[in-house]
Chain A
Amino acid sequence: MHVFADPTNLDAYLSGFLWILKLTGASAVLALVLGVLLAAFRVSPVPVLRGFGAAWVNIFRNTPLTLIIFFCYFGLFTTLGLTLSDDLDQNNYWLGVVGLSVYTAAFVCEAVRSGINTVPAGQAEAARAIGLTFFQTLRIVVLPQAGRAVVAPLGSVLIALCKNATIVGTIGLIEASSVMKDLINSNGDAVIAIFAVFAGTFAALLIPTGYFFGWLANRLAVKR
């Protein structure tokens, strides 16, 4: 544990996880908004919207996140000159958020859509029978129930997003995995302790999150 007694290393460890949390938070919000919107597109009566949603999901779900993040940096930033902030770290952070969000939105979309499938067809038919429009049916009757049904899968998506945030290290943001790599390279005598601390921090963050979402899903489930 002498590695973490050194204040420089401790600071690196803390800032590494702070980046992970900031990446997760910003991407989670963006991906949730985008994902619900895409799910609404995919069930809408307008064919162009459905096609757009389907194309988004197929493209981003089947491409490795590493490639997407790579493209955000070398394609959007280096080649096209898209700059999101003057500060280099902030710029990489926002490029990472863009990559994580467009990727995760595809999974949020599929989760929400499978949630829509759990709502009995009769409810939508009843909603239509009393004259609700598509948007009213979706907003008032279907989505609230779908939302309760997808708490657990959205929890899995959030957990995966937090783990995936480590991939932003590829484009030079010194997040937790990069910090661990550097610490291992400079402290060959304490590799197990270093791994235990980093892996343990992730486990301590994510295992309770998993149980929390399981509990919440159970509590919010629509009992039929």
Chain B
Amino acid sequence: MSTSTVLYDHPGPRARVRNAVLSVVFGVGLVALLWWVYAKFDQAGQWEGSLWQPFTEASTWTQFIWPGLRQTLLAAATGMVLSLTFGILFAVGRLSDRRWIRVPSGAVVEFFRAVPLLIMIFFIFYGVPFLIQGPVSAFWAVVVGLTLYNGSVLAEAFRAGIRAIPGGQAEAAYAVGMRKSQVMQLILVPQAARAMLPVIVSQLVVLLKDTALGYIVAFPELLQRGVNDLSANRGNVVAAAIVVAAIYIVINSLLTTLANWLDGRSRRRNFRIPKQAAAPDSTPAGGATVAEPQG
């Protein structure tokens, strides 16, 4: 069902009246709820100008929000590059003909997909220093954790993408004398990467949101700097949380728009692997891709 409009008829006079009544009733309820929330905040004095005033000062942005955002983007970018590498390596590993490569690769991917990111970050940040007799920076704890988790998810996406490429292509490549590694490098991985581009960009949204876990190990990213540190000075937790949430929502919406645009583009070019094959564990047959709802 491509559009939901087939679920109901074009409204006639009675349906129009009914819809209008429902709109008004629900609208009034919603406004009442929002008013109640507003009043609650008002009671707690959260709309006072002094709490919002910091956001009109340049120093708030240059000292707290921008440095935090930069760390968030830096961690997300580093994590993305590393997790793409990890994903491609392990996807190819899982498709290897050699059992001693295939089985461990599968175990690694399954394991890191099942372990919560926070457990991984805690282990790297608090546990690894005991092993290497030296400190691990919060940045690397977050980035390595993100790499292992998102890399595993991407490995599954790549594997599904590679397997969905028509077998004739690999056969043709073998027929002209290519070795297995050449077939992978020249024929399969580039096509899978291109077809999986929308999934990869959606995963970037997940990765970017997950950098907020850095807050828990005192990595100075957007949540830490923009909400925690800022409100420690100004006592405006609610205001700061609303502003920072808006920043996250804008960035992630842009990324989602990019993913949809890429999706539409690859669809138009008829360069698309059927989605049911592309993302086996997150997509119903023929449905839209649902990104993994990790933190």
Question: A9 at interface (Cβ–Cβ under 8 A)?
Answer: no
Instruction: Say what secondary structure dominates the interface of chain A.
Output: helix
Complex CA gap A45/B16 in Å reads: 9
Interface: B260 (CB within 8 A): no
**Residues of chain B within 8 A of A185, CB atoms compared:** 126
Question: Which B residues are in CB contact (< 8 Å) with A21?
Answer: none
- Chain B residues, CB < 8 A from A155: 281
How far, in whole Å, are A52 and B242 apart by their CA atoms in the complex? 19
Q: Name B34-75 residues within 8 Å CB distance of A.
A: 40-41, 44, 46
Kindly state the separation between the CA atoms of A177 and B116 in the bound complex, as whole angstroms.
9
| Complex CA–CA separation, A161 to B116 (angstroms) | 10
Is A114's CB within 8 Å of the partner chain B? yes
Residues of chain A at interface, number, CB under 8 A: 85
B114-143 CB contact bits vs A (8 Å, 1 = yes)?
A: 111111101100111011000000000000
The segment out of B92-100, B173-181, B205-213 that lies at the interface is B205-213
Residue A8 interfacial (CB < 8 Å): no
User: Chain B residues with Cβ under 8 A from A181's Cβ?
Assistant: 122, 126
Chain B neighbourhood of A138, CB < 8 A: 7
> Does B131 lie within 8 Å of A192, measured CB to CB?
yes
Q: Does A137 contact B (CB under 8 A)?
A: yes
Q: How far is the CB of A213 from chain B (nearest CB, A)?
A: 8
Q: Are A160 and B293 CB-contacts (below 8 A) given A67-B241, A118-B284, A184-B127? A: yes
User: Which A residues lie within 8 Å of B295 (CB)?
Assistant: 64-66, 163-164, 167
Within 8 Å CB of B288, what residues of A? 110, 113-114, 117
A62 touches B253 (CB 8 A): yes
A47 engages B23 (CB within 8 Å)? yes
Return chain A residues, CB-CB under 8 Å to B171.
none
Report chain B residues within 8 Å CB of A212: none
Task: Name the residue in A48, A169, A185 with the highest tally of chain B Cβ atoms < 10 Å from its Cβ.
Answer: A48
A198 within 8 A of B: yes
List chain B residues, Cβ under 8 A from A195.
119, 123, 127
Asked whether A63 and B23 contact (CB < 8 A) given A80-B41, A121-B2, the answer is no
| Residue pair A166, B7 in contact (C-beta under 8 Å) | no
Q: Is residue B182 within 8 Å, beta carbon to beta carbon, of the partner chain? A: no
Asked whether B248 lies within 8 Å of A64 as measured between CB atoms, the reply is yes
Cβ-defined contact, B249 with A117, below 8 A: no
- What is the CB-to-nearest-CB distance from A64 to chain B, in angstroms, rounded to a whole number? 3
Asked if A153 contacts B282 (CB within 8 A), the reply is yes
Query: Which chain A residues lie closer than 8 Å to B123 at the CB level?
Result: 180, 184, 191, 195, 199
Asked if B118 contacts A177 (CB within 8 A), the reply is yes
Contact with B along A183-221 (1 / 0, CB 8 A): 011001101101100110011011100100010000001
For residue B126, which residue of chain A has the nearest CB? A184
| Other-chain residue from A42, A64, A161, A191 in contact with B212 (beta carbon distance below 8 A) | A64
A5 to B79, CA, bound (A): 38
Say yes or no: B111 contacts A64, CB within 8 Å: no
CB neighbours of A214 from chain B (8 A): 281
Chain A residues lying within 8 Å of B218, measured Cβ to Cβ, are none
Using A138-B7, A207-B110 as known contacts, say yes or no to A64 and B293 having CB atoms under 8 A apart: no
Q: Contact between A63 and B281 (Cβ–Cβ < 8 Å)? A: no
State which of A70, A137, A163 has its C-beta within 8 Å of the C-beta of B241. Answer: A70
Contacts of A221 in B (CB 8 A): 285
- Nearest Cβ on chain B to A143's Cβ, whole angstroms: 11
Asked if A96 is at the interface (CB within 8 A of a chain B CB), the reply is: no
Q: What would be 19 A-B contacts, judged by CB atoms less than 8 Å apart?
A: A67-B223, A70-B223, A79-B46, A114-B288, A114-B289, A118-B284, A137-B7, A137-B8, A142-B7, A153-B287, A156-B290, A156-B293, A160-B293, A160-B294, A163-B115, A166-B116, A167-B213, A184-B130, A188-B130
List 4 additional contacts besides A49-B23, A153-B281; criterion CB under 8 Å.
Answer: A48-B27, A70-B223, A153-B290, A163-B295
The 6 closest A-B pairs by CB, nearest first: A64-B212, A114-B287, A191-B127, A62-B252, A43-B4, A163-B116
